[in-house]
């Protein structure tokens, strides 16, 4: 167990699998008391059990962040209650990823992606950030994506939502930073998903020509989240930290 987040409380959305699970586990391992959220009570109990077995502190709160004000307000209130009236860190991780190109993305699916990936974290932040300011400060971490900057012919709706979250990161840093609330983001690259059998299909091709050359583990994103949540990042505001194996910014010329 570490101490980088000792005495902190954290709310991690979409924490029952993959990146969210890794972040929640890493936070708890560094001393934070964590609220794990998601739509699966079974997986939530599994994550909480794993954290507690390792000596950490965690509780599960069911949340279906569908973009409604009621869902975001309800989660903020319940997490605040479970964490003893204080949320020090919010991680806006929950999201959906339909791989469809534009021509296969109908209106209903488009509405769903924007509701879950942008509207829900927007409304949750609107609930949590003022509470953080009132208590003297806090940290908000959004999840962007390498796909928001490198044009791709698939997952266009998802890519656009991640671009929106990176823009909101800078906006919120300007809005809430003067009140002591730091807002930053992480842009993951192609990340393995142990819950569903490892690396996503086509990940080797997607990472060809990068320094890493392969997909990354969810723990790589968790390490970055711990840094941004900790006092080590006290002077970091409005930044998007690329944790993508170099996918978004580096080309290894001549790579096979």
Interatomic CA distance for residues 49 and 55, integer angstroms? 10
Q: What are the C-alpha distances in Å from 191 to residues 207, 208, 217, 245?
A: 10, 14, 6, 10
Strand, coil or helix: what is 19? helix
- Tokens representing residue 182 in the block: 């730091």
| The residue to which tokens 């509207």 are assigned | 119
Closest CA to 92 of 37, 138, 146, 133: 37
57-62: strand order across its sheet:
57-62, 33-38, 9-12, 89-92, 138-143, 181-188, 240-243
Does the annotation mark 158 as catalytic?
Answer: yes
Residue of 62, 122, 158, 227 marked active site: 158
* Angle in degrees, CA 93, 16, 180, rounded to 5: 35
- Which residue numbers are catalytic? 158
């Amino acid at each position: 167990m570490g101490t980088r987040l000792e005495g902190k409380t954290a709310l991690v959305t979409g924490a029952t699998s993959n990146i969210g699970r890794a972040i929640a586990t890493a936070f708890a391992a560094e001393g934070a008391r964590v609220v794990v959220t998601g739509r699966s009570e079974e997986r939530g109990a599994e994550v909480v059990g794993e954290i507690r077995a390792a000596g950490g502190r965690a509780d599960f709160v069911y949340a279906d962040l569908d973009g409604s004000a009621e869902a975001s307000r309800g989660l903020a209130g319940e997490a605040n209650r479970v964490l003893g009236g204080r949320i020090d860190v919010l991680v806006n991780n929950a999201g959906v990823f339909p791989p469809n190109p534009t021509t296969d993305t109908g209106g209903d699916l488009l509405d769903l992606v924007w509701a879950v990936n942008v509207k829900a974290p927007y409304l949750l932040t609107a609930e949590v950030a003022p509470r953080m300011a009132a208590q003297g400060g806090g940290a908000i971490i959004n999840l962007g994506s390498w796909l928001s900057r490198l044009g791709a012919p698939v997952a266009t709706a998802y890519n656009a939502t991640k671009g929106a979250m990176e823009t909101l990161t800078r906006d919120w840093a300007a809005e809430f930073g003067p009140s002591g609330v730091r807002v930053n983001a992480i842009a993951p690259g192609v990340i393995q998903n142990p819950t569903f059998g490892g690396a996503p299909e086509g990940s080797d091709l997607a990472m060809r020509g990068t320094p890493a050359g392969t997909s990354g583990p969810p723990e790589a994103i968790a390490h970055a989240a711990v840094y941004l949540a900790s006092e080590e990042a006290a002077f970091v505001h409005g930044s998007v930290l690329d944790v993508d194996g170099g996918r978004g910014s580096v080309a290894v010329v001549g790579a096979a």
